[in-house]
């Protein structure tokens, strides 16, 4: 577990895409974000108080999150200097950069000397088991997608928050770097060795007996030629009771692959249900989440209404319109008893 609350690092960033991890934390977990650290030439802000390390530590922050991405995911000299200063001020450091914190000798030495922790959220834990497909107690929802980067993490977080608002116990189970920093725990699924994909998900979503829900962050798409293996293992390991399909209606081709068109929604629903039935024959699709961020409001609502009518499923942009209709469907479907042993 990563100690919270966080101080979010922006450094010298002037590229909105480059700070998306810090942005995701500020948007979804303002309760654990004390402030932002940026240099004078940083033209961006998360809307949090700007703080130096001493001030932020005095305000309670415990981990400096290097929630930025630069070319090649490198730890450049300036980032290392800032991280060393933060450790001196009392901080642990967390990052999802390609170059590992623990592989940088100055950081490793300072961490050892000062008793600080370095969290490389791209490194899976070493004790991931092979999946066994055993039915686990409790309720699980997984977000799936027509493509990568269509809003699966945001949708999962919105569902978790909305369930909690209704008084239903719910935990977000993170499978990517930003999600792990948001949750303070999880597995970077893309970095797990192939034989352990489903086992990694079984590990982060064990038996649950409180009647609540594990909301598992999806990755990739069964229809993405580069990453469908990850999505398949995730689907089997999650053994979801419920799926929510996430889709970007303006996506023209599969992410990174101009020669592949996105699948149709009906085809994607059917393929995900079919694959999911292997480990949970009772799986149901309970909603469609559209990313309408690039659309006018009236157009976005009209599209969601049309999509709902076409597929007979609740449909909304979770971030813009909430997820009430999807939760109504989910909880209405939750009348079945918990099945702890039945299998295919």
Write down the least CB distance from residue 135 to a copy of itself, Å: 8
If we measure between CA atoms, which residue out of 185, 223, 231, 184 comes closest to residue 206? Answer: 185
Write down the least CB distance from residue 266 to a copy of itself, Å: 14
| Spatial distance between the Cα atoms of 138 and 337, rounded to a whole number of angstroms | 10
CA 291 to chain centre: 15
- Cis previous bond, 5, omega within 30: yes
Write down the least CB distance from residue 189 to a copy of itself, Å: 6
Write down the least CB distance from residue 175 to a copy of itself, Å: 11
| Spatial distance between the Cα atoms of 281 and 131, rounded to a whole number of angstroms | 17
Nearer to a copy of itself, 195 or 297 (CB): 195
Write down the least CB distance from residue 225 to a copy of itself, Å: 3
Cβ atoms of 140 and 114 closer than 8 Å: no
Nearer to a copy of itself, 63 or 175 (CB): 175
| Spatial distance between the Cα atoms of 182 and 159, rounded to a whole number of angstroms | 14
Nearer to a copy of itself, 141 or 197 (CB): 197
Nearer to a copy of itself, 122 or 247 (CB): 122
Cβ atoms of 250 and 303 closer than 8 Å: no
Contacts of 291 by beta carbon, 8 Å cutoff, 6+ apart: 150, 151, 154, 246, 247, 248, 249, 317, 319
Taking the CB of residue 20, how many other CB atoms lie within 10 A of it? 15
Write down the least CB distance from residue 336 to a copy of itself, Å: 20
CA dihedral 328, 137, 197, 288 (to 10 degrees): -10
Write down the least CB distance from residue 205 to a copy of itself, Å: 14
Nearer to a copy of itself, 260 or 319 (CB): 260
Cβ atoms of 133 and 333 closer than 8 Å: no
Q: How far is CA 18 from CA 21, 68, 97, 243, in A?
A: 8, 5, 11, 30
Write down the least CB distance from residue 174 to a copy of itself, Å: 15
Nearer to a copy of itself, 94 or 222 (CB): 222
Cβ atoms of 133 and 141 closer than 8 Å: no
- Interaction site with a copy of itself (CB under 8 A): 130-134, 189-195, 197-199, 222-223, 225-234, 236-237, 256-257, 259-261, 271, 274-275, 278-279, 343-344
| Spatial distance between the Cα atoms of 259 and 139, rounded to a whole number of angstroms | 38
Write down the least CB distance from residue 209 to a copy of itself, Å: 20
Nearer to a copy of itself, 27 or 275 (CB): 275
Q: How far is CA 90 from CA 98, 100, 336, in A?
A: 24, 20, 49
Nearer to a copy of itself, 13 or 143 (CB): 143
Nearer to a copy of itself, 131 or 287 (CB): 131
């Amino acid at each position: 577990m990563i100690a919270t609350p966080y101080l979010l690092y922006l450094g010298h960033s002037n590229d909105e895409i480059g700070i998306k991890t810090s942005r995701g934390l500020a948007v979804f977990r303002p309760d654990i974000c004390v402030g932002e650290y940026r240099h004078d030439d940083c033209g961006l802000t998360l809307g949090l108080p700007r703080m130096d390390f001493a001030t932020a530590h005095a305000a309670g922050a415990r981990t400096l999150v290097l929630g930025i991405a630069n070319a090649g995911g490198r730890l450049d000299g300036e980032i290392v200097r800032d991280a060393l200063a933060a450790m001196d001020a009392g901080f642990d450091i967390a990052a999802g950069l390609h170059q590992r914190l623990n592989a940088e000798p100055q950081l490793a030495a300072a961490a050892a000397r000062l008793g600080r922790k370095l969290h490389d959220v791209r490194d899976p834990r070493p004790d991931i088991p092979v999946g066994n497909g055993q039915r686990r107690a409790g309720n699980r929802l997984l977000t799936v997608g027509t493509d990568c980067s269509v809003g699966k993490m945001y949708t999962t977080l919105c569902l978790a928050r909305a369930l909690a608002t209704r008084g239903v116990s719910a935990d977000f189970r993170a499978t990517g770097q930003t999600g792990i920093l948001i949750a303070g725990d999880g597995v970077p699924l893309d970095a797990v060795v192939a034989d352990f994909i489903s086992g990694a998900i079984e590990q982060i979503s064990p038996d649950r007996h409180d009647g609540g829900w594990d909301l598992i962050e999806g990755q990739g798409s069964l229809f993405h030629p580069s990453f469908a293996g990850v999505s398949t293992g995730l689907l089997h390991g999650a053994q979801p009771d419920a799926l929510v399909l996430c889709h970007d209606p303006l996506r023209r081709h599969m992410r990174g692959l101009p020669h592949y068109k996105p699948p149709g929604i009906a085809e994607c629903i059917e393929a995900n249900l079919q694959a999911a039935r292997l480990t949970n024959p009772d799986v149901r699709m309970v909603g469609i989440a559209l990313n309408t961020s690039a659309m006018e409001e009236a157009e976005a609502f009209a599209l969601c209404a049309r999509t709902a009518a076409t597929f007979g499923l609740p449909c909304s942009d979770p971030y813009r319109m909430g997820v009430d209709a999807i939760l109504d469907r989910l909880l209405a479907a939750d009348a079945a008893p918990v099945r702890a042993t039945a299998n295919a």
